[in-house]
Amino acid sequence: MKQVKIAVILWFSNLMLFGLAYLYYKPTLPNLIITIGIIAQLLLFYLSFMIFLNEPTIKNRYIFLNFSLFFSNSFFYIFYYFGLHHIFFKTKYASVYAYQYFYIIFQITLAFAIIYLVVDFLFRNFSTLKKYLISFVIILTIGGYYFSNFFITPDYLYKTENIIYYKAVNNAIEEFKNENNRNPLPNEILDKVELNILRENISIGTFDREAKLAKIKEIMLYIQTDSWIILLYKPLYSNLLYIDVFILLFIFLYFGYQYTKDPPQGAYIDKIMYMLLFIVSLDMLHQWAFIKNVEYIEYMSLFEVGQYFSIAAYAGLVIFFYARLKFIKSVVGEFYETELQSNPEGITRWIDGIDRFILNHFTNPRDLKGRLFEQRTKQ
As a whole number, mean pLDDT of residues 266-283 equals 91
Per-residue 3-state assignment (H helix, E strand, C coil) for 139-192:
HHHHHHHHHHHHHHCCCHHHHCHHHHHHHHHHHHHHHHHHHHCCCCCHHHHCCC
Least confident of 138-142, 217-221, 290-294, 338-342: 338-342
Q: Please, which pLDDT band fits residue 356 given cuts at 50, 70 and 90?
A: low
- Measured N-to-C along each axis, helices 331-342 and 296-328 cross at an angle, to the nearest 10 degrees, of 90
Share of the chain above pLDDT 70, in %: 85
pLDDT at 264: 72
The closest of 278, 152, 172, 281 to 216, measured between CA atoms, is: 172
In the predicted structure, residue 371 carries a pLDDT above the cut 60: no
Backbone angles phi, psi at 225, to 5 degrees: -95, 5
361 has pLDDT over 60: no
DSSP structural state of residue 222 = H
Residues composing the chain: 379
The CA distance from 273 to 285, in Å, is: 18
Confidence category of residue 58, pLDDT binned at 50, 70, 90:
confident
Q: What are phi and psi of 68, to 5 degrees?
A: -65, -35
Beta bridge partners of 196: 206
When mean pLDDT is compared over 13-27, 144-158, 212-226, 351-365, the highest value belongs to 144-158
Nearest to 107 by CA among 235, 241, 229: 241
pTM for the model: 0.85
Res 306 pLDDT > 90: no
Residue 374: pLDDT above 50? no
Q: Measuring CA to CA, how many Å separate 157 from each of 50, 131, 160, 237? A: 39, 34, 6, 11
What confidence tier does 85 reach under pLDDT thresholds 50, 70, 90?
Answer: low
pLDDT at 67: 96
Could you give the maximum distance between any two Cα atoms of the chain, in Å? 86
The predicted pLDDT at position 244 comes to 96
- Which pLDDT tens digit goes with each residue over 154-193? 888 988 888 888 888 888 888 888 888 888 888 888 877 7
pLDDT at 350: 59
pLDDT at 348 (0 to 100): 60
Could you tell me if 100 and 157 are in contact, meaning their C-beta atoms sit under 8 angstroms apart? yes
Q: Comparing 195-204, 205-214, 285-294, which segment has the lowest mean pLDDT?
A: 195-204
Q: How many CB atoms lie within 10 A of CB 60?
A: 23
pLDDT band at 243 (very low <50, low <70, confident <90, very high): very high
pLDDT at 101 over 80: yes
Q: What was the pLDDT predicted at 29?
A: 72
Give the percent of the chain with pLDDT over 90.
Answer: 36
In angstroms, the CA 155 to CA 85 distance is 16
In the chain, which residue ranges form alpha helices assigned H by DSSP? 2-25, 32-54, 58-71, 73-81, 94-122, 128-152, 161-180, 209-224, 228-261, 269-292, 296-328, 331-342, 353-362
Round to whole Å and give the CA distance between 199 and 193.
19
Q: Taking CA 104 as the corner, what is the angle to CA 103 and CA 108, rounded to the nearest 5 degrees?
A: 115
Over 60: is that where the pLDDT of 126 sits?
yes
The mean pLDDT value for 64-86 works out to 86
Band of residue 347 on the pLDDT scale cut at 50, 70, 90? low
In the predicted model, is pLDDT for residue 200 greater than 80?
Answer: no
Residue 166 · residue 228 · CB < 8 Å? yes
Q: Give me the mean pLDDT over the 43-60 stretch.
A: 91
Containing 203, the helix (H) or strand (E) segment is strand 202-206
Q: Is the pLDDT of residue 273 over 80?
A: yes
pLDDT at position 66: 96
Residue 111 has pLDDT above 90, yes or no: yes
Is 90 exceeded by the pLDDT of residue 315? yes
